[in-house]
C-alpha cells in the first residue's frame, strides 16, 4: 500500500509541475525565450533525436558524455577503494592522504579545471581528470570510514579460528565494508555527473553538457530544456542501475 501511495504521489507531483509549466508558458506574461512551452520542447526533442545537434547525432552527444563519465568513474574506483581501505587500516596513512582529499573535496570544479587544462591540455584528458577528481573523494571517504566501523568482534572471531590476514580482509573486512562503499559509489556517480557540464564547457565540441552550454549561448532555450531533461533522466537511470546492482550483489547491506 505504501509503495502504491508513493507511486501515485510521484505521478501527481509531475502532473502538477507540467500543468504549471503549461499555464505559465501560455499565459503570455513570460517571454518564450525564457520559458518555452512543453509543446515546443517536445518538438525540439524530436528534431534533435532525428537530426542531432551541430551535425552530430543526439545519441552520440549522450554517448560521448557517458564515455567520459565511465572512464573517470572506473579510474576513481580502481584507486579510491584500495587507498580508502588502506587509510582505514593505517591512521598515519589517513593523516597524509586524507588531508589532501579533504582539501580538494570542497573545491568547486572550475577552481582547478584551469590548472588541469594547463597541465593536460584541452583534449579528453583534462575532462576525464576533472570527473575523476569529483568522483574520487566520495568513494575514498566511504571506503576509509567503512573500515573503521567494522565490528571488531568479527575480526577477533576470525583470528580465533586461525584466519590469516589475507582471509580476514577478503572474508570479513571487505564484505562488511561493501554496503557503505557502494553508497559512496552512488554518491560519486551523482557528483561526477553534475560536474559533467563543467568538464565540457571548455574546448569541447560534443557531449550533452556541451550541447546545453552551446544552446544557451544562442538563446535556444528549448534545446537547453531538452538537454536538462535528458541529463536528469539519464542520471536517474544510472542511479537505478546502481541500486539494482546493490540489491542483487550486496543483499546483506543494513542487515
Mean pLDDT value across the chain:
89
Q: What is the pLDDT of residues 213-245, one digit of tens each?
A: 899 989 899 999 999 999 999 999 999 999 999
State the CB neighbour count (10 A cutoff) for residue 115.
11
CATH for 36-249?
1.10.3720.10
CB 213 within 8 Å of CB 197: yes
pLDDT at position 254 is: 60
Average pLDDT over residues 178-205: 88
Cell numbers representing residue 167 in the block: 582471509
Cell numbers representing residue 210 in the block: 556541451
> What is the C-alpha separation between 85 and 184, in angstroms, rounded?
13
pLDDT at position 198 is: 80
Average pLDDT over residues 142-150: 89
Question: On the CB side of 176, how many CA atoms lie within 13 Å of its CA?
Answer: 19
Coil, helix or strand for 53?
A: strand
Assessment of whether the complete model's pTM goes beyond 0.85: yes
Percent of the chain with pLDDT over 90: 55
pLDDT at position 77 is: 96
Q: Which pairs with CB-CB distance under 8 Å and at least 24 residues apart come from 58-67?
A: 60/206, 61/206, 61/207, 61/208, 61/210, 61/211, 62/208, 62/230, 62/234, 64/206, 64/207, 64/208, 65/196, 65/200, 65/207, 65/208, 65/209, 66/234
Confidence band, pLDDT 50/70/90 cuts, at residue 113: confident
| Extents of the domains making up the chain | 1-30, 36-249
Amino acid at each position: 500500500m505504501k509503495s502504491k501511495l508513493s507511486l501515485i504521489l510521484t505521478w501527481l507531483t509531475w502532473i502538477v509541475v507540467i500543468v504549471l509549466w503549461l499555464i505559465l508558458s501560455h499565459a503570455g506574461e513570460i517571454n518564450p525565450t525564457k520559458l518555452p512551452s512543453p509543446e515546443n520542447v517536445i518538438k525540439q526533442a524530436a528534431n534533435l533525436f532525428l537530426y542531432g545537434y551541430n551535425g552530430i547525432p543526439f545519441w552520440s552527444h549522450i554517448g560521448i558524455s557517458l564515455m567520459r563519465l565511465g572512464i573517470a568513474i572506473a579510474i576513481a574506483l580502481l584507486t579510491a577503494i584500495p587507498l580508502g581501505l588502506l587509510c582505514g587500516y593505517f591512521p598515519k596513512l589517513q593523516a597524509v592522504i586524507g588531508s589532501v582529499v579533504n582539501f580538494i573535496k570542497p573545491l568547486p570544479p572550475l577552481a582547478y579545471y584551469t590548472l588541469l587544462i594547463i597541465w593536460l591540455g584541452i583534449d579528453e584528458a583534462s575532462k576525464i581528470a576533472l570527473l575523476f577528481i569529483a568522483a574520487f573523494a566520495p568513494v575514498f571517504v566511504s571506503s576509509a570510514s567503512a573500515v573503521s566501523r567494522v565490528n571488531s568482534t568479527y575480526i577477533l572471531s576470525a583470528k580465533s579460528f586461525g584466519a590469516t590476514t589475507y582471509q580476514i580482509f577478503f572474508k570479513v573486512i571487505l564484505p562488511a565494508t561493501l554496503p557503505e562503499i557502494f553508497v559512496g559509489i552512488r554518491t560519486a556517480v551523482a557528483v561526477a555527473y553534475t560536474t559533467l557540464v563543467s568538464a565540457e564547457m571548455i574546448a569541447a565540441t560534443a557531449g550533452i553538457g556541451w550541447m546545453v552550454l552551446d544552446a544557451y549561448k544562442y538563446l535556444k532555450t528549448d534545446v537547453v530544456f531538452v538537454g536538462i531533461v535528458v541529463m536528469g533522466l539519464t542520471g536517474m537511470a544510472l542511479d537505478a542501475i546502481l541500486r539494482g546492482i546493490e540489491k542483487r550483489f550486496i543483499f546483506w547491506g543494513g542487515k
